[in-house]
Amino acid sequence: MKRGRRLEFSAERIRSVQYRPFTRAFVYFDRILNEEVYSFPSIFPTPSTERENLVICLSGLGHDIFRVQASNRIPEYKFSNSENGGTQCFPFYTYSEDGSNRRENITDWALEQFRSHYNDRSITKWDISYYTYAVLHYPEYRTRYAANLKRELPRIPYAPDFHAFAKAGKRLAELHVDYEKQTPYPLEQREKPGAKLDLRVEKMRLSKDKQTLIYNDFLTLTGIPKEVYDYRLGNRSALEWVIDQYQVSTDKRSGITNDPNRPDDPEYILRLIGQVITVSLETVKIVNALPDLGIPKEAEKADRASASTD
């Protein structure tokens, strides 16, 4: 108001965002009302760009635990929920702020480097993006370079089998972006005898062995595979992110209640639980099947020497 800046409501500025892993919310995306919009007016300038663009979100520099997830929505700054470092995002496309002038964010130089290294002219920029996404999920890469990933941007090595990583990365991206389209995992549903059907969530909780989910007083879900918890985004598994985020809570300062239940789709949260379990199991299966990344043992020794020197 002091600056004399005028606001006019526009329904197009109400945007679906990736608030936390596998948790979407709405934001009024506006330079005046948002503390920071960063580069997102040129990454997802319009809702239509969400249908074609892909952004790889990972923990920013100085993070406590490395996380990575692809999205086709604007992510919240603390999307990775890291205490330090925020979130860094690498989009495939960038645009002018009106959605025109689409440009590929992977340079022609980078494309030529990959094609030359593998002597393969069929490699595309989308292949490189998917390849990168798979490498960032490779357990040995994340463990070996944990210290490096905290203080500098990821350095992507050349794997012996480029196309195996590119194919795996594409499937991972499809799972993580379109998780709401996946077939829910068939959990056993135990309903309270004689009780009225109730799918409303207040606060879900897991049993001690994490194989059973208390959905509400009416419904209990059993038969959660233990492998689900191997797919982790930081200090939580994907399923635990959903359980943590999809609960009714009231902000103490404003008194506003956040209710994730959907009157127009009362089965959404129940369905989401099964979908995220499916995504988790498929992710673990894909990552475990990745071929050797091919980092030379000499590089491993040099990394250890560098770490001890640092």
How far apart are alpha carbons 26 and 11 in whole angstroms?
12
**Residue 223 pLDDT > 50:** yes
Please provide the average confidence, as pLDDT, over all residues in the chain. Answer: 92
Residue 52 main-chain phi, psi, to 5 deg = -125, -20
Decide if 221 contacts 189 (C-beta within 8 A).
yes
- Give per-residue pLDDT as tens, 126-163: 999 999 999 999 999 999 999 999 899 999 999 999 99
Decide if 273 contacts 238 (C-beta within 8 A).
no
Query: Over the Cα atoms of the chain, what is R_g?
Result: 21
Tokens in use for 144?
Answer: 């070996």
DSSP 8-state code for residue 155: P
Query: Which of 95, 130, 273, 265 is closest to 188 using CA atoms?
Result: 273
Cα atoms in the Cβ-side hemisphere of radius 13 Å centred on 37 = 17
Tokens in use for 24?
Answer: 């979407």
Number of C-beta neighbours around residue 173 at 10 A: 22
Q: Which contiguous run of DSSP H or E holds residue 110?
A: helix 108-118
- Give per-residue pLDDT as tens, 224-264: 999 999 999 988 999 999 999 999 999 999 999 999 999 99
Instruction: Lowest mean pLDDT of 54-63, 80-89, 213-222, 246-255, name the range.
Output: 80-89
* Residue 78 pLDDT: 80
